[in-house]
Structure 1
Amino acid sequence: MKYLSSASIAAISLAFATEALAVEWNVSVWGKRREFTEHIEKIAELVEERSNGDFTMAISYGGLSNERENLDGISIGAFEMAQFCAGYHPDKNRAITVLELPLMGVETLEQEVAVARAIYAHPAVQDEMAQWNARLMMTSPMPQYNLVGTGEPRATVESLDGLRVRASGGIGELLAAEGAVPTSVTATEAYNAMESGVVDAVSFAQHAHLSFRTIDVADWWTENLNPGTVNCPVVVNIDAYEALSDENKAILEGAVDDAIQHYLDQYALLLEDWDNVLEEKEIEKVRFSDEELARLAEEAQPIHEAWIAEMTAQGLPGQELYDLARSSLAEAKAAGK
C-alpha cells in the first residue's frame, strides 16, 4: 500500500484551501454592455486580476432579474451585486432621490461623481440602503438627460404641454409641471413605447438613446434642455460583502476609483461622436432659448422645496441632504471638475 508523502498531503490541502477561498459573485444588470455598465465590467476585471483569480464576478444582462427588481434581489441575497436606478422605486430609496432633483446645476460627469459620493456617504442614506441589505459601492454617472421625440419639435415651455414622455424622477416632475404627461416605462420598454406612439418623446442620456434605439425612430433632439439626470447606484449585498476576506474587501474597494475613471473615459469617447450620430441619422437639433431655460429653472424651485418638506415629514434629514448636494457641487466646481 502506497502512502502519500507529507509534501503531497500539504499540496493537496493547499489546493482544497485555495478552492474553498475562491469567491464568485453574481451581478445583475440589464440591457446590453454599454457605457452605462463599463465601470461594472472594469471592476470585475480588476478584482479578478488583483486577486489572482480568487475573486471573480459573473455579470448577467437581464438573466437574473429585471431592472425594477434588482434592489429586491439584493435584499434577499439572490445575487451579490446589482445596478438600479432610484426613479424605478423612489419609495425604497428616498434619500438618494435628492440626486434626481431637476436643474440642480451639475454640468460634468466628474461633478456628478463628487455629489453622489457625498450623498452616498451620509449616514441617513446608508441606513436606508441597509434596510434592503444593500451597501452603496459606486454611482453610474450620467450627463444631463435630453429628449428625443417624434413629430413637431418642442422648443418652448408651452410646447411641452400635452407631450407624452418617458421620464422619471425629478425630470418627470418638472415636465409634468409644464403640462407634459410623463410615464416611467423602463429603459428596455422605451423603444416600443416610442415606435408604437404610446409616447411622443423619451428622456435619456446619450448612451441609452443609442443602446435602446430610441434615436432610430426620432425626428428631433433637445440639445440644451438639460432638465436633470437620474441616479443609478451599484450596490452589493451586505452579507456577501461582510463574508469577504479583508484582502478581497480591500481589492473591491480599491478598484472603485479605477472603474469610475474607466467609465468616464469611455463616456467621453461617446460624447465626442454624438454630433456625428445625429447628423448620420438626420436628427434635428432643438435649442431652448435662455429665456425659456430661465423660466424652467424658476419652475424647478418649488419641486426642490416640496422634496425637502416631504423627506422631512418622513423623518429623513431633507434639508441636510439638499444642502449637502449643493455644497458638494460647489466644492467640485471650485476644484475645476
Structure 2
Amino acid sequence: MTKFLTGTAVAALSFALVSEAAATEWNASVWGKRRAFTEHVEKLAELVAEKTGGEFTINVSYGGLSKPRENLDGISIGAFEMAQFCAGYHRDKNRAITVLELPFLGVSNLEEEVAVSHAVYDHPAVQDEMAQWNAKILMTSPMPQYNLVGTGDPRETLASMDGMRVRATGGLGEAFSAVGGVPTSVPATEAYNAMESGVVDTVAFAQHAHLSFGTINRADWWTANLNPGTVNCPVVVNTDAYEALSDEHREALDSSIDEAIEHYLANYAELLERWDTVLEEKGVAKVMISDEVLSEFRAKAADPIREKWIADMSGQGLPAQELYDTVVQALEEARGGS
C-alpha cells in the first residue's frame, strides 16, 4: 500500500512538473496606455491563452519593460519576447521598412495598409535586416493617414507651414521639411508636453493618438484631409523565443494573427465613426486643405523624397527600388488590380 501511494505521489509530482514545463509565459513591451494602437496585441494575447487552455500567456506591459525607442534593442537581447516599435524611432536600425513611411504612397484605408505592410515584411531584405536584431515581424499596427493638430491660426497653405515646428517622424518629417517645416521626433508619450511647452506648434498623429496622448485637448484645429502619410509600427517577436515554442503554442500564435488584425480594424473603424463628434465636443475646428495646396505639397514632397530614399538605400546595399515596387504591386492587388 505504501509503495502504491508513493508511486501515485511520484506520478502526480511528475505530471505537475511536466505541466509546469509545458507552460509558456511571454512579456510584450508596448507604451502609453491600452488604445486602438495596441488592440491587436491585446487580442493576440487573449486568443493564444484561449487556444492553449492558459498554457501560453502573453503579458502586455505599457512602458514597464522598456522605452519606446529601445524596444527593438530589448528584443535583440531577449529582455522580453514581443514588442511593438515604430520605424521612424530608429531609421538606421530598420532601413528596409522605412519604404512604408514615404509620404503620399497613395494608401487610402487600413486594409490597404495591412496589405502593403505585410507584403514588405515578407521581402527577404526586410527579414534579413530584422534577423540582425534577432527579431521576426509578426504583424503590422495599421494606422490611417496622419493629420495635424495645432494652436492659433490653421496651417492651410504651404507658406503657413514654413517654419512650423511639428512633431513628425520618418518620412512625414521629411515631407514637412520639404515645405519649410521644422520636424522633431519626440516620442508619442512626450508630444503633449512638447505642445504645451511650445517646443512644437503642431503634432502629426493618427486619430487614436491625438486622443490617447492628449494633443487634441490643446488643439484649436485639425487638418481633415492633409493625409501626407503615416508611420509603420510592426509587432515583433524574439526569434529564439519563437523557435523555442512547442509546435502547439507556435500554431496558436501564428493562427491568431489574422483574427487579431481583424479585431484591430473593427475597433479602429468605430473610433473613426466617432471622430467628428469628438472634434465637436472639444471645440476643435476641422480644416479642409484645398486641392491646389495638396497638389503643391505632393509635388514638393512625394517624388523628390521617394527618389532620394531609393538612391540612399541603394547606396547602402538595399534593394530599394524592389522594395518600393513591392508597395506599388501590393497596393494594386489590394484594390483588385492585376
| TM-score (structure 1 length as normaliser) | 0.98
Aligned match for 2:314, one of 312, 315, 324: 312
Dislocated runs of 4+, deviation >6 Å = none
Counterpart Cα distance in 2 of 1:236 and 1:194:
33
The C-alpha deviation readout for 1:276-318, integer Å capped at 9, x for no partner, is 0000111011111111111112121010001011110000000
Counterpart Cα distance in 2 of 1:122 and 1:50:
30
Counterpart Cα distance in 2 of 1:195 and 1:231:
26
Query: How far off its partner does 1:132 sit?
Result: 0.3
Counterpart Cα distance in 1 of 2:190 and 2:10:
57
The C-alpha deviation readout for 1:135-182, integer Å capped at 9, x for no partner, is 000000000000000111011111110100000111110100100000
Match for 2:194: what amino acid? A
Counterpart Cα distance in 1 of 2:161 and 2:137:
36
**Corresponding residue of 1:250:** 251
Counterpart Cα distance in 2 of 1:246 and 1:2:
39
**Corresponding residue of 1:70:** 71
Query: How far off its partner does 1:192 sit?
Result: 0.4
Counterpart Cα distance in 2 of 1:46 and 1:308:
39
Structure 1: stretches of 5+ with no match in the other structure: none
Counterpart Cα distance in 1 of 2:2 and 2:196:
73
**Corresponding residue of 2:125:** 124
Counterpart Cα distance in 2 of 1:261 and 1:11:
42
Give the alignment of 1:229-244 within 5 angstroms: 229-244=230-245
Counterpart Cα distance in 1 of 2:195 and 2:113:
28
Give the alignment of 1:254-265 within 5 angstroms: 254-265=255-266
Query: How far off its partner does 1:12 sit?
Result: 2.7
Q: Residue 126 of structure 1 aligns to a residue in which SS?
A: helix
Query: How far off its partner does 1:9 sit?
Result: 3.2
Query: How far off its partner does 1:7 sit?
Result: 4.5
Match for 1:269: what amino acid? E
Give the alignment of 1:1-337 within 5 angstroms: 2-3=2-3, 4=5, 6-299=7-300, 300-334=302-336
Identity, % of aligned pairs?
69
Counterpart Cα distance in 1 of 2:179 and 2:43:
40
Q: Residue 33 of structure 1 aligns to a residue in which SS?
A: coil
CA RMSD of aligned residues (A): 1.0
Match for 1:311: what amino acid? M
Counterpart Cα distance in 1 of 2:132 and 2:141:
21
Query: How far off its partner does 1:5 sit?
Result: 5.3
Q: Residue 334 of structure 1 aligns to a residue in which SS?
A: coil
Counterpart Cα distance in 1 of 2:247 and 2:163:
55
Q: Residue 335 of structure 2 aligns to a residue in which SS?
A: helix
Counterpart Cα distance in 1 of 2:219 and 2:289:
18
The C-alpha deviation readout for 1:108-135, integer Å capped at 9, x for no partner, is 0000000001000000000000000000
Q: Which moved more, 1:287-296 or 1:270-279?
A: 287-296
Counterpart Cα distance in 2 of 1:296 and 1:13:
68
Match for 2:323: what amino acid? L
The C-alpha deviation readout for 1:224-250, integer Å capped at 9, x for no partner, is 000000000000000100100111111
Match for 1:2: what amino acid? T
Structure 2: stretches of 5+ with no match in the other structure: none
Q: Which moved more, 1:134-143 or 1:289-298?
A: 289-298
Counterpart Cα distance in 1 of 2:149 and 2:190:
15
